[in-house]
Chain A
Amino acid sequence: MKDLFAVVMLSGIYSLLTASFFVAMDAVDVAFTEASVGAGIFTLLMLTTITMTGRYERAARHKPTLALAVVLATGGLLIYGTLDMPYFGDPQAAAHLHVAPRYIHDSMQEIGVPNIVTSVLASYRAFDTLGEVVVIFTAGIGVLALLSVARRPEDDAEINSVNDSMHEQHLILRIVTKILIPFILLFALYVQFHGDFGPGGGFQAGMIFTAAIILYAMLFGLSTARRVISQPLIRLLTAIGVLIFGGVGVVSLLNGGNFLDYNVLSDDPVAGQHLGILLI
């Protein structure tokens, strides 16, 4: 495939299909994330890149036979591995019989959150989630470290003039976006605070927020977006986000429990759990 535009579109479709697979497997949270990241933001960013670099790939210098062979071998092994798997949805499968029953039966009494996935993510395996938050933080810092080039004023001026001329042409798009953005932000907030009870949570909400911001930056120019969201503020916010999560853990440590043990946060264990998850 030499046409990068088609490649991007195909990968977007791929993500959307994967997301529907996840829905079919009842993993709504993951599907939510996949749809917003894979099909949404990824495609958006790639399209922006293509507008800057050009649409067609240069002819490859080497033949991809070896790579293809490796991929085929890997795929073969994966299929070979599926031969002895338990059937899909089999209630006797090991995954449903060992740790899962406690999550399903007892999480309501122990944690008091109706969404079992949330209680697993935010309490039973909260440390993994903290780890994931740090992964995202790391990625953010990495990007900052590599891309934050000192800007020169003349560059800014040039970008502005290009932007202005481009944005004049997309009047309809701009107006539609202006109408849409408040709804997107509202939806993000809904996902964020409903995370306790339904699918969703901070990660997905963050994605939707980002989509809104990128959309805004694409249509109104980077400098306008920068005026709305200042960079130092973002840095501070990311650090504080991670620290809040970790801080919850440290507080429970000081109160005499183990790290991330919310039961000690409050006299009533269930209330403590609730508080902990909400803070996260």
Chain B
Amino acid sequence: MLAHLPILQVIVPLLAAPFCLILRRALLVWLFALIVSGSAFLISITLLQQVLASGTISYDLGGWSPPWGIEYRIDKLSAYLLLIISAISTVVLLAARISIQKEIPADRHTLFYILYLLSLAGMLGIIATGDIFNVFVFLEISSLSAYSLIALGKDRRALWASYQYLIMGTIGATFILISIGLMYQMTGTLNMEDLSRRLPEVAQTRTLFAAFAFFIVGVCLKLAMFPLHLWLPNAYSYAPSIVTAFLAATATKVAIYLLIRFTFSVFGISFSFTALPLQTIFLLLGLLGIFVASTAAIYQENVKHLFAYSSIAQIGYMIVGYSIGTTTGLMATLLHLFNHALMKSALFLALGAVIYRIGSAQLSAFQGLGRQMPFTMAAIVVGGLSLIGVPLTVGFVSKWYLILATIENGWWPVAVLILLGSLLAIVYVWRIVETAYFKEPAASIGQVKEAPLAFLVPVWVLVAANIYFGIDTRLSIQVAQAASQSLFGVAP
């Protein structure tokens, strides 16, 4: 059975989703979904071990050898991403049952879990596959389910937010599809491995240039890079808390994975970094993204909005790391990917707990919460410190490597700007801390109890991970380094 792990990773959640429709009872479905997501997590651990021990795994679907059939290809980068996503999904799902009780009408709970599993399966499928058309198919699965999950939000504005996301996301997906079509036309293959061998022959053609440009714009829409981020804040804010915690930690990460996978493994490094002035554009947009989004975050009155803008800023850091174009830079991006997933899932889940108790995420409602919900607020504080990049949290590790990478390249001004960006993070995190700990509770709210254990356990698991991986960095750094080296072709 071990040989089938790559496909099981994806089809377990994929087929579990329709099966939920037969189970029907929401509690059963929740348990079932939890088991499914947990087993996906176990599979991803085994896969990572296999990949680290014996190198890239290739799996031919239907027994047809690539490029005729579809190939699943797990290398270090994809195993790393699979682990992040299935882990976050499992932890977030722990809190799902209690959180959606207050946010989603009871008759839709089953449908919620189905969409959740589909979204998970879609993202895992994008990462595991080695075939570019298969990427598109799974991109559709994950985005369609994400749109519907967001639209399930209690606030009516969720519908509009989801619609905006749908339009922007569909444009992005169509651009990616155009690019895939053009590439097929020029090479006659859809397999990534095969493409990377055949694309250099046609590297000079204008068609391939157009394919590249369409892909970059499409994927940047999906990952909400700075000028194309407009869909993100509302989508995250009005979605149900669980959905926000899940998507914020995973969806944009998958898009970044796609960017890295296509530019490094499909188009090839030499083409990607010379066809367009990609490094300069990404560096500028990344930095602009950090500053504009962090500043916007400072002025938000809704904490969900605040963290959504902060997500855009964090994506900016990843883009900067990517644009440096060195092994260390890419490694910083990968590390930040992992770390940001931990931070944001912890933060949004803790926010979910607050919303569960007081029914609002307005900053004004946080007054005095430091004393009334000490454990939840402490989690938010730790998450916030991690966002800033305080030592002993994961945020510090990735910022450290990012700055190291810029200095290695002699980009001093960029390093200074990254530090300045962190200062902005201090400001917006401080606003929450100030309201929660130094203001008297508003009289109208009355006594608020601490969040239930069903919330506290997953939140603190994530917070503990934030601290653990901030101190013991062996796992994340080892894998990120190995992945980025193999992408640059330095080490096998």
Contact = CB atoms under 8 A, between A and B. Distances in A.
Interface of A: 77-78, 80-86, 93-100, 102-103, 123-128, 131-132, 134-135, 137-139, 141-146, 148, 150, 235-236, 238-240, 242-243, 246-247, 249-250, 253, 257-263
Across chains A and B, which 5 residue pairs bring their CB atoms closest together, nearest first? A81-B210, A142-B148, A98-B188, A131-B137, A261-B63
Contacts of B4: 253, 258-259
A263 B69 CA distance: 14
A81 B14 CA distance: 36
- In which size bucket is the chain B interface? 35 or more
Contact of A150 (B18, B107, B133, B187): B107
B21 A239 contact: yes
A121 to B, nearest CB: 12
Given A81-B206, A124-B64, A135-B140, A100 B188 contact: yes
Contacts of A134: 14, 17, 118, 121, 141
Nearest to B133: A128
Which one of A94, A142, A243 has the greatest number of beta carbons of chain B within 10 Å? A142
B67 A125 contact: no
Contact of A78 (B7, B68, B187, B210): B210
A253 B69 CA distance: 16
B61 A142 contact: no
A95 B210 CA distance: 17
Contact of B15 (A82, A95, A138, A242): A242
A208 B67 CA distance: 34
B238 interface: no
Interface stretch (B109-117, B260-268, B410-418, B420-428): B109-117
Nearest to B184: A95
B367 interface: no
Contacts of B107: 148, 150
B11 A259 contact: yes
A84 to B, nearest CB: 4
B184 A258 contact: no
16 contacts: A85-B186, A95-B185, A96-B188, A98-B198, A99-B189, A137-B118, A141-B17, A141-B21, A141-B111, A141-B115, A148-B107, A239-B21, A242-B15, A243-B15, A258-B59, A259-B4
Interface in B1-45: 4, 7, 11, 14-15, 17-19, 21-22
A236 to B, nearest CB: 7
B54 interface: no
Contact of A85 (B141, B147, B185, B189): B185
A102 B66 CA distance: 12
Interface string B143-172: 011011001100000010000000000000
Contacts of A260: 61-62
Given A94-B186, A94-B198, A103-B68, 15 more contacts: A81-B211, A94-B185, A124-B64, A125-B70, A126-B62, A127-B61, A131-B137, A138-B122, A138-B140, A141-B115, A141-B148, A145-B111, A145-B148, A258-B62, A260-B62
Given A83-B207, A145-B115, A131 B147 contact: no
Contact of B182 (A81, A97, A143, A146): A81
Nearest to A135: B140
A144 B61 contact: no
A142 B145 contact: yes
A148 B134 CA distance: 31
A132 B144 contact: no
A135 B210 contact: no
Nearest to B185: A95
A83 B206 contact: yes
A139 B178 CA distance: 22
B209 interface: yes
Contact of A236 (B21, B122, B125, B178): B21
A258 B69 CA distance: 12
Contact of A81 (B64, B121, B209): B209
A101 to B, nearest CB: 10
Contacts of B22: 236, 239
Contacts of B211: 81
Nearest to B70: A127
Nearest to B105: A150
Nearest to A273: B62
A156 to B, nearest CB: 18
Given A142-B144, A150-B107, A84 B64 contact: no
A138 B141 contact: yes
Given A96-B188, A126-B62, A128-B133, A141 B118 contact: yes
A243 B19 contact: yes
B317 interface: no
Contacts of B198: 94, 98
A176 B11 CA distance: 46
A235 B144 contact: no
Interface in B193-226: 198, 202, 205-211, 213-214
Given A243-B19, A258-B59, A97 B188 contact: yes
Nearest to A241: B18
Nearest to A258: B63
A259 B111 contact: no
Contacts of A263: 63
